[in-house]
Structure formats: structure tokens, C-alpha cells
């Protein structure tokens, strides 16, 4: 299969996987409703500078993701699909960029296609790419920065070098404007270690110019951040800048913030569940790369994804604050390493079996598919949550692709994409119905239509965001110390509220009305 056909096949696979049925699942009560609420408020208030959560500045991240989401809301309305569209679009672009990077690393068209498929079908990446969260967009900009910098170092033409340098700076700028200083830390950690090892193992000299370009790329990257910081200072004052750059920037990883502080072994415990079903392939690839490096036989092209996979992971382990989603920008490196190792296994099998390989392929393929389908059915009936069968779908692809002919590759990818989409639109959709806050705020709309008044008690960020997203306006919030006034219905979460109306995720609507009146739906004594 030619590189062009492989690229088109990956693009079609990614489009089906990411955009089909995107709005069929409700937003989960949690990060999704919080982010969707911030986007909705930015759209309603037409304030592109200060992200707000029910009227209060929310400065955990810079506003790029919220601005992209606001654009989607203006184009497609306040829908679940529009809220998740920036993540899906970012994952689509990341897969195509990874294919381009694999080509620059001299991967074959089949290996480049495999890398893109592994990226999109990894459990955590697939889940994040169809969620209203900032992490998939950050992963895109990290892939862009790494790809552009490597292409720049390999180009001999000045115009191309300049073009790739600007793309590299754009990747850094996008990462910073999406999630703060971590947008610089991820690319720099991987690329910096790669330059050092490349100089030691291959260049045999110190290439100062490449290090200079690595640092200079940050100069144009901080321009949009500085401009936004200036506007933020004019609007909210010095305290807002301290919150953005110190509390949520440096403090998130130094431990001074206090959120998500975990031990150094946190990622080693969580990692096995995140890169399913390709974890064993990736670990085998890393071990094999270390062995080749010790023998001084490691291909130069593999050094970049190896450093990109290892260096940022070590950086995250030594930081104080840790979350599973911080590993998402490393998915591109993991996928490249796994694809490289699988290509080596396939080449070894052809060399070992020689002329018998085509016949073996015809025999093994049906057995592999049947065995994978049997495991799929077993997981389907034995696991309480549909997400646990995601790895099995990926294993079907891993089992079938090395033995499939060119004509069958497209069908295999079509079946794989359809299976993954079914997981999100069926199994996860059923679970989201039990967690969605839409029924709560539909009831709130009914109350307001009957001249009642809805307020918020002491509720978490997820509820504040959901209120703006579903109600399309901010709601007044009380401290919860006083009981609701006559005619007032208050949203609270958790605790015990006899007579209150209970909704998903332990949310309640309470009122000062007697229980018997409330059951009748009356809004006044």
C-alpha cells in the first residue's frame, strides 16, 4: 500500500472513529460539565479573555480551549456534540501529524498507519478524544511541536526550515495557551534529551545550533501568552496573574497548590490501565530499544520517540501533583514505539517462515479473529462496564492486521472503528444517562416556567458548569446556611435531604414547601 493510500485510509478511519455519533452520549457530571459550563458562559457573555464559572473567574488554564469550544457553540449551538468537537478535531489532526512524523522517521507506510491507529484506539486517548476536556488539544500541540522540530532538523532547505520552525513555535504557543507551562515542559523534556543522546551516539559533537533553535521557539510562543496576561491584568488585576502563573502554573507541579499530590510511583500504578491494549507491546519495544542502544545498534530514527516516551514520563514522576490525564501527550511516542516493534516482529516472521508465511497467514487469520471475537463476547457478558471491552477490540486489530492482505486492511479498520463507536454510543451512553445532570436542569426550567426561582447551594464546580450549560445563564448562589425562601428551589449535592427531589450524581432539589405540596408539583404554599 502506498503512503498516500495509507494516509487516506487513516484519515477515513479517524473521521469515523472520532466524529460518528459524537453527540449520542450525555456529558458526564464532572470535568465535562465544568468545562462545558465555562465555554457556554464565554459564549453567552462574549468575553474571550476571562474564563468564568457561573460568574466567577476560573483561571486554572489559559483560554484557548474555551475559545475553540465557544466558536463551536456559536456555529452548532449548545449541544453535547459541539462541546466535545474541539477534542475530536484535535485527536483527528494529531493522528495525521503522527503519520507525517512516522514518515520522517523512515517508517514504512504500513507502520505509519499502524502508529496512527494505535494512537486513536488506545483506551485513554480514545476516551479523551470524545470528551469535553482540554487534554486531547494539549496532546495535539505536543505532537505538532515534536513533529515540526524534528522535520526542521532534517530539512536542508532554508525556507522549509523556517516553515517548520514557525510550526514548532505554534505548537509551543498552542500548548501553553491550552494548559499553561506544561505545554512547554512536555516537548522540551523529550526533545532536549533527544538532542543530548543524538549528539553523543550519532553526531559525535555538540550541535549548538539545534539547542538554540529549541529555546528560540519559545520566544514567539510566549507572545500570545503575554498578550493574554496583559489583558487579564487590565481586567482582573495582579492577583489573577499570580493565580495563573504561580498557583496553577508552577504550583501544580511543585506541590504548593496541594491538589492531586501523589507519590513518585503513582504513574507506575496507573500506567498499565492507560495504554491498553498495547501496553505489553510498548514495554517490549522500550526494552528492545535499550538493548540495541547498549549494543550501539539502535536505529537513529527510533531515538526520538524513545526519548519522547521516557523523558517527560520521568519528569511527571518527580513532580508533586499527578493526574492520569497528564500522560496523554505521551501517547504519540508510545504509539510510534509500539508500531516500530510490531513492524520488526512482522519482518522477523516473514524471514523465519519464508515461503510458508502466506499460507500461514491465511490459516492464522481466521483463528485469530475467532479467538478475539470469543474473548470479546466473554468480556461483554462478564464486565459490568462496557469500557472494559475496549482493549479486546484493539486486540482484534493487533491479531488480524499482521496477517491481513492489503484488501482486507480497510475492512479491518472499518470494523475496528465501528466497534469503538458502538462502545461510546451504546455502553457509555447508557452509563452517562445515570450520571447526566440534564434531567435536573430540565426540571429547573419547568420550575422557572411556573414562576418559581432556582438557586444554587454550596455545590461543586461540576454543578456550576452544568447550570450554565443547560440553563444558558448563570444562577444565583447561596452559602447554604439559610433555608430556601418561599418559592425558592435550591440545588444541593450530597447529604441527606428528606422530602427533596433526588437526581443523578447525588444532586437534590430542596424547597421550603411542605412535602405533600412538593409531591404535587406546587411551587407556592
Residues 222, 94 within the same domain: yes
Residues 454, 334 within the same domain: no
Cβ-proximal residues to 49 (8 Å cutoff; 6+ apart), any chain = 63, 228, 231, 232, 235
Quick check: helix, strand or coil at residue 49? coil
Dihedral angle computed from the Cα positions of residues 265, 141, 32 and 123, in that order, rounded to the nearest 10 degrees: -60
Residues 331, 197 within the same domain: yes
Instruction: Give residue-wise pLDDT tens across range 66-107.
Output: 999 999 999 999 999 999 999 999 999 999 999 999 999 999
**Which pLDDT score, from 0 to 100, does residue 525 have?**
34
- Does a structural domain hold residue 433? no
Of the candidates 96, 271, 243, 264, the residue with the CA atom closest to the CA atom of residue 180: 243
Residues 343, 449 within the same domain: no
- Three cell numbers at 1? 500500500
Radius of gyration of the chain (CA): 25
Q: Which of residues 352, 385, 411 is at a domain's end?
A: 352
Whole-angstrom CA distances from 348 to 80, 344, 523 are 47, 6, 74
Would you place residue 498 in the very low, low, confident or very high pLDDT band (cuts 50, 70, 90)?
Answer: confident
- Does a structural domain hold residue 313? yes
Range of the domain at 459: 438-519
Dihedral angle computed from the Cα positions of residues 405, 411, 416 and 417, in that order, rounded to the nearest 10 degrees: 140
Residues 170, 284 within the same domain: yes
Residues 464, 346 within the same domain: no
| Lowest-confidence segment of 133-137, 237-241, 432-436 by average pLDDT | 432-436
Query: How many Å apart are CA 94 and CA 412, to the nearest integer?
Result: 21
**Which pLDDT score, from 0 to 100, does residue 285 have?**
94
Q: Which of residues 337, 352, 367 is at a domain's end?
A: 352
| Lowest-confidence segment of 171-185, 195-209, 494-508 by average pLDDT | 494-508
Q: Taking a C-beta distance cutoff of 8 angstroms, is the pair 144, 189 a contact?
A: no
The fraction of the chain above a pLDDT of 70, given in percent, is: 81
Q: Taking a C-beta distance cutoff of 8 angstroms, is the pair 148, 164 a contact?
A: yes
- Does a structural domain hold residue 374? no
pLDDT at 385 over 50: no
Query: How many Å apart are CA 278 and CA 283, to the nearest integer?
Result: 9
Residues 14, 117 within the same domain: yes
Would you place residue 259 in the very low, low, confident or very high pLDDT band (cuts 50, 70, 90)?
Answer: low
Whole-angstrom CA distances from 24 to 130, 296, 421, 433 are 11, 51, 10, 11
Q: What average pLDDT does range 8-22 have in this prediction? A: 90
Instruction: Give residue-wise pLDDT tens across range 196-244.
Output: 999 999 998 998 999 999 999 999 888 999 999 999 999 999 988 888 8
- Three cell numbers at 152? 526542521
Query: How many Å apart are CA 283 and CA 279, to the nearest integer?
Result: 6
- Does a structural domain hold residue 411? no
Structurally, how many domains does the chain consist of? 2
Instruction: Give residue-wise pLDDT tens across range 320-331.
Output: 767 778 889 999
Q: What average pLDDT does range 445-449 have in this prediction? A: 91
- Does a structural domain hold residue 61? no
372-380 contacts, C-beta under 8 A, 24 or more apart: 372/396, 372/399, 372/400
Chain center to CA of 429: 19
Instruction: Give residue-wise pLDDT tens across range 365-377.
Output: 555 555 555 555 5
Of the candidates 104, 510, 493, the residue with the CA atom closest to the CA atom of residue 305: 104
Counted residue by residue, the chain has a size of 525
**Which pLDDT score, from 0 to 100, does residue 327 have?**
87
Where would I find the H helices in 132-198? 135-154, 158-179, 182-198
Q: Which of residues 311, 337, 352 is at a domain's end?
A: 352
Instruction: Give residue-wise pLDDT tens across range 451-487.
Output: 889 999 889 999 999 999 999 999 998 876 788 888 8
Residues 346, 442 within the same domain: no
**Which pLDDT score, from 0 to 100, does residue 310 have?**
93
- Does a structural domain hold residue 328? yes
Burial pattern 46-80, b for ≥16 Cβ within 10 A else e, equals: eeeebbbbbeeebbbbbbbbbbbbbbbbeeeebeb
- Three cell numbers at 107? 517508517
Residues 174, 300 within the same domain: yes
- Does a structural domain hold residue 384? no
**Which pLDDT score, from 0 to 100, does residue 356 have?**
61
- Does a structural domain hold residue 41? no
Quick check: helix, strand or coil at residue 212? helix
pLDDT at 110 over 60: yes
Amino acid at each position: 500500500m502506498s503512503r498516500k493510500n495509507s494516509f487516506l485510509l487513516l484519515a477515513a478511519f479517524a473521521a469515523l472513529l472520532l466524529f460518528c455519533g459524537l453527540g449520542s452520549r450525555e456529558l458526564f457530571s464532572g470535568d465535562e460539565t465544568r468545562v462545558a459550563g465555562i465555554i457556554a458562559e464565554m459564549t453567552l457573555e462574549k468575553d474571550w479573555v476571562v474564563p468564568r464559572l457561573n460568574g466567577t473567574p476560573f483561571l486554572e488554564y489559559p483560554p484557548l480551549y474555551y475559545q475553540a469550544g465557544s466558536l463551536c457553540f456559536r456555529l452548532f449551538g449548545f449541544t453535547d456534540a459541539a462541546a466535545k468537537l474541539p477534542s475530536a478535531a484535535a485527536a483527528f489532526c494529531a493522528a495525521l501529524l503522527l503519520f507525517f512524523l512516522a514518515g520522517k522517521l523512515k517508517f514504512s507506510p504500513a507502520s505509519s498507519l499502524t502508529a496512527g491507529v494505535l494512537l486513536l484506539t488506545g483506551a485513554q486517548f480514545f476516551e479523551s478524544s470524545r470528551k469535553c476536556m482540554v487534554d486531547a488539544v494539549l496532546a495535539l500541540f505536543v505532537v505538532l511541536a515534536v513533529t515540526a522540530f524534528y522535520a526542521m532538523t532534517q530539512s536542508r532547505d532554508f525556507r522549509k526550515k523556517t516553515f517548520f520552525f514557525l510550526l514548532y513555535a505554534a505548537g509551543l504557543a498552542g500548548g501553553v495557551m491550552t494548559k499553561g507551562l506544561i505545554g512547554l515542559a512536555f516537548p522540551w523534556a523529550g526533545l532536549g534529551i533527544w538532542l543530548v543522546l543524538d549528539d553523543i551516539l550519532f553526531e559525535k559533537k555538540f550541535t549548538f545550533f539545534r539547542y538554540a533553535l529549541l529555546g528560540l521557539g519559545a520566544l514567539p510562543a510566549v507572545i500570545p501568552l503575554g498578550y493574554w496576561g496583559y489583558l487579564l491584568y487590565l481586567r482582573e488585576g495582579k492577583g489573577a496573574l499570580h493565580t495563573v502563573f504561580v498557583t496553577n502554573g508552577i504550583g501544580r507541579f511543585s506541590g504548593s497548590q496541594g491538589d492531586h499530590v501523589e507519590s513518585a510511583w503513582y504513574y507506575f500504578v496507573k500506567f498499565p490501565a492507560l495504554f491498553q491494549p498495547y501496553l505489553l507491546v510498548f514495554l517490549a519495544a522500550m526494552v528492545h530499544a535499550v538493548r540495541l542502544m547498549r549494543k550501539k545498534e539502535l536505529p537513529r530514527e527510533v531515538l526520538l520517540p524513545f526519548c519522547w516516551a521516557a523523558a517527560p514520563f520521568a519528569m511527571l514522576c518527580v513532580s508533586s501533583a499527578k493526574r492520569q490525564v497528564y500522560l496523554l501527550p505521551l501517547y504519540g511516542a508510545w504509539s510510534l514505539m509500539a508500531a516500530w516493534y510490531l513492524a520488526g516482529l512482522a519482518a522477523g516472521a516473514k524471514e523465519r517462515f519464508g515461503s510458508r508465511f502466506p499460507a500461514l497467514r491465511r490459516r492464522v487469520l481466521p483463528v485469530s479473529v475467532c479467538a478475539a471475537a470469543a474473548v470479546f463476547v466473554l468480556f461483554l457478558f462478564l464486565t459490568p462496564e462496557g469500557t472494559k471491552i475496549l482493549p479486546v477490540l484493539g486486540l482484534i486489530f493487533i491479531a488480524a492486521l499482521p496477517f491481513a492482505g492489503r484488501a482486507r486492511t480497510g475492512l479491518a479498520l472499518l470494523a475496528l472503528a465501528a466497534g469503538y463507536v458502538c462502545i461510546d454510543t451504546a455502553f457509555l451512553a447508557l452509563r452517562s444517562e445515570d450520571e447526566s445532570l440534564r434531567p435536573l436542569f430540565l426540571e429547573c426550567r419547568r420550575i422557572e416556567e411556573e414562576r418559581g426561582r432556582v438557586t444554587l447551594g454550596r455545590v461543586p464546580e461540576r454543578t456550576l458548569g452544568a447550570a450554565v450549560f443547560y440553563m444558558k445563564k448563570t444562577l444565583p448562589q447561596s452559602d447554604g446556611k439559610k433555608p430556601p425562601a418561599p418559592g425558592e428551589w435550591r440545588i444541593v449535592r450530597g447529604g441527606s435531604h428528606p422530602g427533596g427531589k433526588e437526581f443523578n450524581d447525588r444532586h437534590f432539589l430542596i424547597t421550603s414547601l411542605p412535602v405533600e405540596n412538593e409531591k404535587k408539583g406546587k411551587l407556592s404554599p
